[in-house]
A and B are shown apart, each in its own frame.
Chain A
Amino acid sequence: MAEPRYRLGVDVGGTHTDLVLNEVSTGRLRIEKLPSSPANPSLAVLEGMGRLLSGGVAADEIGFFAHGTTVTTNALLEGKGAKVGLLINAGYRGICEVQTQARDEGNPFDHLFRRAPHIAPPSLTREIPGRIDYAGAELEPLDADAVRRAAAGLAAEGVASFAVCFLFSFMNDAHERAAAALIRDAVPGACVSLSSEVLPRIREWPRFSTTLVNAALVPVLARYIADLAAGLDDRAVTTRSRFLMQSNGGVMPLAANCESQTVHTLLSGPAGGVQGAAWLLGRRAGGRNIVTLDMGGTSCDIAFVQDGQPLEHAETLIAGRIVGVPALDVSTISAGGGSLARVSAAGLPVVGPDSAGADPGPACYGKGGALPAVTDADLVCGVLNPAYFLGGRMALDAAAARSAVQTHVAAPLGMAVEAAAAGICRVVNALMADEIRVQSARKGIDLAGFTLVPFGGAGPVHAAAVARDLGIPRVLVPASPGAFSALGLLCADVVHDYVRSELRALAGLPPARMEEVFAALEDRARAELAAEGLGAAETALLREADLRYAGQGYELRVPLDGIPCPLSDDGLAALEARFHQRHAQVHGHAAGDAAVEVVSYRLRAVVPMPKLADGGRAEAAAGAAAPYAKRRAVMADGAAVECDVWRRDALPLDRSLPGPLIVEQPDATTVAPPGWTARLLEDGNLELTDGAGR
């Protein structure tokens, strides 16, 4: 494809919609930030584009459009999905009532526990005779009449989106496919989500739950895509290279099949930034291992990039619902700029989970918030500049911040106000460090050699302190921390994930059988990519197997890369050896003599896309490279120090500046405490190095 003049990334977040326009030849970035339009998110997107276009960008010179949206996430959280009808095996309705039988996200002490409302309540569920057994053999034929009656009856109830969830459909999808055809005959234009297409994986409830979530969101996403595509057409954006960010850090074409793909967009919000970090910072020599710290207003998202690849997990809980498609493994904790501090009945300082949000926001916003938030503590510590928040577009009320910290934390603890503010920072920093520690241990990661990459408005303020707590000596602050998720959209490939379960002992499994299962997944991948107009030539097909010791209930994903195809006995032996090794790495022990089972086969199809070369390009400061002020600030350890205060665009290129110093830019503030040095790199990233690094 010919190199376009511009590539555009658009990220719709909860409060802001960010647009990043990249001029390919110069690498220059133009950033637009405007308030999101939650009622119809495409409005803010199109308005932002209008601004870019009126600023002299020709619509037909935009050759690539990538979009991150929370439209499906929000619909799920707010219960605004479509009305869904469910077809399930006769006699098995209890699967959707009992679910996991546990209170997954619920407080175990709360006897008033309630589940999230049904996506398809019993009144919209129809039981269909027909049954497949564990080996894929038909025990009882599908009752086609029952399917027709169900489809017509549910359509009469106003159902336009159907979920078809039959037991063992991952072993044999004939009944689900037949049911889909019957439904489409009976209800022209119906959306049909099949559990064997959405997630052909063993364990019925996670599969059914994922399929139900998909069914609820197919019409939502389809409508959104149609609105957006029409809006782009109206503005004469001619490119067909239009993509949506997915939970797995890859993009999918706007033209993808929503019926099987919708559920892959649920966690696209946090994925953009992580993918951006992996591409822009993680692929460089010496920087392939990264922890991302996306600290926004209400929460902090933490993720890992190892050997240049963001880590993923196979199952997530969203709004109390299990979703079983691969997603970047982002863990969220209540530690944002708006997280509120208080003193507990035990006399200890607590930060979060309550948040001041955007409204009223921290006390210093002057919108009526009286309780101290982390941003207030940052302000009292002198780290934030009340006159230069959002580049000066919003004045902060320092007296209100001080009074909030004094009343609610300092006085009850009998501490000075600045010490209390520093204490709040220490507590919230430790929460982030704890989460990174827990997550790294869960994933079997040794943090030595990792770089911390903070973004979001509040990340760069706290990053150095978090890094020191973890013994991480290096922090990289990207050029535009506040619009980094949008930037990440320009760093992604087209990625489609496929899975299929077939539980068998690895010993005695003919390599030809494994080859056959993978080949079937590859055929499906090629067909879908072709339907999306993407060529097969440059597509990479990556195989993985989910393995476990016989009798274990959870699997580890083990890649097959480097194992020759078609698979041989030696290849299977190599796979088994990798599994033992991985088990020891993740769980601290392995059982070399225990039998290993294959549970699922996974395939990832990757079509490479052109990507942003750099995070932006640092340009030599216009005037003399010098700090514009000195300011006294209290660091998280409680020590007051005199800091040089720099504007980021005045930083000298490639020169180490000793901390303590503060770097201000419109969308973020970076702190380098004593013992750290700061250096602006040629690629536009700001590097902080801990001289006291352990």
Chain B
Amino acid sequence: MDTGQGATVDPITVQILRNRIGSLMDEMHHHFFRSGYSTIVRESRDFSCVILDARGRLLVTPPMFFHATAYRYLVARVLELYGAEGLADGDVFICNHPYEGQMPHVPDMGVVMPVFDGDALVAFAGSIAHKADIGGTVPGSTWGQAQEIFQEGIVFPPVRLYRAGTYCRDIERTIRANSRHAETTLGDLRGQVAACGIGRDRLRQICGEYGADRLKAALTAMVEAAGAEFRAALRRLPDGEGEAEAFLDSDGIDYTKPVRLHVQVTVRDGRVSFDFTGCADQGRGPVNIREALVEVCCFQVLIGLIDPNLPYSDAARDAVEIVLREGSVVHPRAPAPCSSYMKTCMTVIDMLFEAMAPIVPGRAAAFSGGSGGGLTVDWHDGPRKVTNNQYEIYGSAYGGSAAGDGCSGTTVHLSNIYVTPIEIVETEFPCRVTRFELIPGSGGDGKHRGGLAMRREYALLQPAMVVFRGDRATQPSRGVAGGGPGRPSRFVVNPGRPDEREMPITTRVELDAGTTMLIEAAGGGGYGDPGERTAAARAADLREGYVAKG
């Protein structure tokens, strides 16, 4: 296989090294996961670890996909700032800047480690992980009402944490001075560096076995091979066009104004074009997303619709065109805030599925319930001393599809995140989970019903500041092909009591001991005409309590 770089390498070696890089990424992922300090890492797995070629291109699909497209921008920015010749063995860069390296939001810390064999730059090891707290206005750093990234925490453009193997304590001191939870934040960062170190050591071992030139040639070949496979799959799509629009509840600042998203999809001769220029202007609040995330949404949908086993590499980008308008919610200008990126991504994905339904009808689906929301609780003093923030991420449900009912009570699309066990919540934090169940009837009706959302209720035993960031309270998950909408989400304080308060779905509130709060995610949309739902399916829904009786 000629890679145009001098060294040649046979397809068998390429395949062997491709498998080996894949398993190396698994190894890094697992290491970091097991050693994670913060709740976010340990229960939510909001992190990724990768190996990239010397140009910063991703080689194979990582275990956690939604950072996949960001790495290339991160390495590109490192190279732009320091130059390939400015990198040294033992350098480690960190970066959490959404506009310099395209980190999804400020709490996501990227780590990049160049890998050298002798003097030759061979590859990069990288990692991105959500941090427990990186400063900013609110504990946990993610704030649904932020209006500039500066309110979301201390921002690092790519800077060195290690310079040629020497640890820069200045950076640690800076983080320590800014983070409300410096130990867990620094502990996680140590874990990321250790995971990258494993990647570097293994790559060097491979260099020893195959030679750096052959390894580099093989890396190039595996990127190109996956790109060729992706393009071949796109060529099997029929030509066609589709269009869809969707709305976010609000930008978190002006609660009365939904934010419009829009896409025009064109498939022609194996090339796919996504035109997002119809999206609204960038929001004042943190609903904006950077290009890397728009890209990851597009690839998530293409892979899901064509073949969930289709491998991704950065060469797949060549066959896909994404058109964005600068200053829009999907291509914001700095310093527009971006910390609530996930709900925007979820809605972009649901919208893309609807737009592509006429082109790929066999795997078409209705809207999912989107992001079920994220909860951060900063416990104030009381009988129980609490050192960590309570941080939980909720799933929602899949929409119904051409193939069947949507799955209930699950994270969807880009999110594959574990629920925090009740027994962990109550053992570590002064609260009680008083209810945890699916919401009957929350899935949109249709030939294939939307999945049901979950409801979780808490009793607070100590005062706390609570941040909740949700969506789909006023813009429910849409049905497709005649299906009905899913039930909207809710965040309620003291439900069923005289002082019950229906809160905005994205909110920050001080609550006293004795307060209860109810979180209800949004259900998935239905797919197809409800008149076509079989009697057996309706009877099963009744028997299992998936629809309300009566």
Q: Is the CB of A549 within 8 A of B37?
A: yes
Q: Is the CB of A588 within 8 A of B426?
A: no
Q: Is the CB of A121 within 8 A of B544?
A: yes
Contact mask B39-82 → A, CB, 8 Å, 1/0?
10111010000000000000000000100000000000000000
B38 CB-CB contact with A under 8 Å: yes
Q: Is the CB of A587 within 8 A of B184?
A: no
Q: For the complex, give the distance between the alpha carbons of A344 and B404 in Å.
A: 30
Known: A91-B434, A168-B423. A438 touches B407 (CB 8 A): no
B253 CB-CB contact with A under 8 Å: no
Shortest Cβ distance from residue B193 to the other chain A in the assembled complex, whole angstroms: 9
Q: Is the CB of A101 within 8 A of B23?
A: no
Q: Which residues of A contact B427 (CB under 8 A)?
A: 134, 202, 503
Q: Is the CB of B421 within 8 A of A202?
A: yes
A112 CB-CB contact with B under 8 Å: yes
Q: Is the CB of A349 within 8 A of B12?
A: yes
B163 CB-CB contact with A under 8 Å: no
A205 CB-CB contact with B under 8 Å: yes
Contact mask A177-206 → B, CB, 8 Å, 1/0?
000000000000000000000000011110
Contact mask B1-31 → A, CB, 8 Å, 1/0?
0000000000110111011101110110011
Q: Is the CB of B187 within 8 A of A348?
A: no
Q: Is the CB of A97 within 8 A of B438?
A: yes
Q: Which residues of B contact A588 (CB under 8 A)?
A: 31, 35, 194, 197-198
Q: Is the CB of B432 within 8 A of A92?
A: no
Cross-chain contact of B365 among A98, A112, A133 (Cβ < 8 A): A112
Cross-chain contact of A111 among B15, B226, B353, B419 (Cβ < 8 A): B353
Q: Is the CB of B410 within 8 A of A347?
A: no
Q: Is the CB of A553 within 8 A of B39?
A: yes
B422 CB-CB contact with A under 8 Å: yes
* Residues of A in contact, count (CB < 8 Å): 66
Known: A94-B454, A122-B545, A346-B226. A587 touches B15 (CB 8 A): no
Report A345-387 residues with CB < 8 Å from chain B CB.
345-350
Q: For the complex, give the distance between the alpha carbons of A114 and B27 in Å.
A: 27
The chain B residue sitting closest to A135, CB to CB, is: B427
Q: For the complex, give the distance between the alpha carbons of A528 and B78 in Å.
A: 63
Shortest Cβ distance from residue A596 to the other chain B in the assembled complex, whole angstroms: 13
B424 CB-CB contact with A under 8 Å: yes
Q: Is the CB of A98 within 8 A of B229?
A: no
Known: A111-B353, A123-B543. A551 touches B423 (CB 8 A): no
Q: For the complex, give the distance between the alpha carbons of A549 and B310 in Å.
A: 39
Q: For the complex, give the distance between the alpha carbons of A426 and B22 in Å.
A: 17
Q: For the complex, give the distance between the alpha carbons of A109 and B428 in Å.
A: 34
Q: Is the CB of A102 within 8 A of B410?
A: yes
A625 CB-CB contact with B under 8 Å: no
B455 CB-CB contact with A under 8 Å: yes
Q: Is the CB of B15 within 8 A of A348?
A: yes
Q: For the complex, give the distance between the alpha carbons of A97 and B308 in Å.
A: 24
Q: Is the CB of A114 within 8 A of B407?
A: yes
Query: Which of A12-20, A397-405, A428-436, A678-686 has 4 or more CB atoms under 8 Å from chain B?
Result: A428-436
Q: For the complex, give the distance between the alpha carbons of A202 and B422 in Å.
A: 10
Q: For the complex, give the distance between the alpha carbons of A434 and B25 in Å.
A: 11
Contact-residue bracket for chain B = 35 or more
Shortest Cβ distance from residue B107 to the other chain A in the assembled complex, whole angstroms: 17
Q: Which residues of A contact B387 (CB under 8 A)?
A: 550-551
Report B180-236 residues with CB < 8 Å from chain A CB.
183-184, 187, 190-191, 194, 197-198, 202, 222, 225-226, 228-229, 232-233
Q: Which residues of A contact B423 (CB under 8 A)?
A: 134, 167-168, 202-204
Report B432-481 residues with CB < 8 Å from chain A CB.
432, 434-438, 452, 454-456
Q: For the complex, give the distance between the alpha carbons of A26 and B41 in Å.
A: 57
Shortest Cβ distance from residue B51 to the other chain A in the assembled complex, whole angstroms: 13
Q: Which residues of A contact B409 (CB under 8 A)?
A: 94, 97-99, 101
Q: Which residues of B contact A591 (CB under 8 A)?
A: 187
Q: For the complex, give the distance between the alpha carbons of A32 and B194 in Å.
A: 51
Cross-chain contact of A123 among B184, B304, B436, B544 (Cβ < 8 A): B544
Known: A91-B434, A423-B12, A594-B187. A441 touches B198 (CB 8 A): yes
Q: Is the CB of A112 within 8 A of B363?
A: yes
Q: Is the CB of A94 within 8 A of B437?
A: yes
Query: Which of B98-106, B147-155, B395-403 has 4 or more CB atoms under 8 Å from chain A?
Result: B395-403
Q: Which residues of A contact B228 (CB under 8 A)?
A: 345-347
B368 CB-CB contact with A under 8 Å: yes
Q: For the complex, give the distance between the alpha carbons of A496 and B206 in Å.
A: 43
Q: Is the CB of A347 within 8 A of B187?
A: no
Q: For the complex, give the distance between the alpha carbons of A112 and B405 in Å.
A: 9
B110 CB-CB contact with A under 8 Å: no
Shortest Cβ distance from residue B35 to the other chain A in the assembled complex, whole angstroms: 4
Cross-chain contact of B27 among A107, A423, A442, A583 (Cβ < 8 A): A442
Cross-chain contact of B14 among A100, A112, A348 (Cβ < 8 A): A348
Q: For the complex, give the distance between the alpha carbons of A167 and B410 in Å.
A: 21
Q: Is the CB of B419 within 8 A of A98?
A: yes
Contact mask A63-90 → B, CB, 8 Å, 1/0?
0000000000000000000000000000
B351 CB-CB contact with A under 8 Å: no
Q: Is the CB of A102 within 8 A of B424?
A: no
Q: Is the CB of A586 within 8 A of B34?
A: yes
B492 CB-CB contact with A under 8 Å: no
The chain A residue sitting closest to B363, CB to CB, is: A112
Q: Is the CB of B42 within 8 A of A553?
A: yes
A552 CB-CB contact with B under 8 Å: yes
Q: Is the CB of B65 within 8 A of A108?
A: yes
B416 CB-CB contact with A under 8 Å: yes
Q: Which residues of A contact B401 (CB under 8 A)?
A: 111-112
Q: Is the CB of B26 within 8 A of A438?
A: yes
Q: Is the CB of B408 within 8 A of A109?
A: no
B262 CB-CB contact with A under 8 Å: no
Q: Is the CB of B388 within 8 A of A551?
A: yes
Cross-chain contact of B422 among A95, A344, A438 (Cβ < 8 A): A95
Q: Which residues of B contact A33 (CB under 8 A)?
A: none
Q: Which residues of B contact A205 (CB under 8 A)?
A: 419, 421
Q: Which residues of A contact B39 (CB under 8 A)?
A: 551, 553
The chain A residue sitting closest to B309, CB to CB, is: A107
Q: Which residues of B contact A107 (CB under 8 A)?
A: 308-309
Known: A94-B455, A98-B410, A345-B228. A552 touches B403 (CB 8 A): no
Known: A94-B436, A97-B409, A588-B198. A113 touches B398 (CB 8 A): yes
Interface core residue of A107, A114, A503, A583 (most chain B CB under 10 Å):
A114
Known: A434-B23, A552-B36. A348 touches B365 (CB 8 A): no
Q: Is the CB of A553 within 8 A of B43?
A: yes
Shortest Cβ distance from residue B544 to the other chain A in the assembled complex, whole angstroms: 4
B490 CB-CB contact with A under 8 Å: no
A631 CB-CB contact with B under 8 Å: no
Q: Is the CB of B435 within 8 A of A435?
A: no
Known: A122-B544, A348-B11, A551-B37. A97 touches B434 (CB 8 A): no
A507 CB-CB contact with B under 8 Å: no
Shortest Cβ distance from residue A415 to the other chain B in the assembled complex, whole angstroms: 9
Q: Is the CB of A112 within 8 A of B403?
A: yes
The chain A residue sitting closest to B306, CB to CB, is: A109
Q: Which residues of A contact B184 (CB under 8 A)?
A: 551
Q: Is the CB of B432 within 8 A of A430?
A: no
Q: For the complex, give the distance between the alpha carbons of A78 and B368 in Å.
A: 30
Q: For the complex, give the distance between the alpha carbons of A87 and B452 in Å.
A: 22
13 A-B Cβ contacts within 8 A? A94-B455, A97-B438, A100-B418, A107-B309, A108-B65, A113-B407, A113-B410, A347-B228, A430-B16, A434-B22, A437-B202, A442-B27, A550-B387
Q: Which residues of B contact A (CB under 8 A)?
A: 11-12, 14-16, 18-20, 22-24, 26-27, 30-31, 33-39, 41-43, 45, 65, 183-184, 187, 190-191, 194, 197-198, 202, 222, 225-226, 228-229, 232-233, 300, 303-304, 308-311, 353, 363, 365, 368, 387-388, 394-395, 398, 401, 403-404, 407-413, 416-419, 421-424, 426-428, 432, 434-438, 452, 454-456, 543-546
Give me 12 other A-B pairs in contact (C-beta within 8 A), A110-B304, A413-B11, A553-B42 excluded.
A94-B456, A101-B410, A112-B363, A112-B401, A203-B421, A204-B421, A205-B419, A344-B229, A347-B228, A423-B12, A553-B36, A583-B35
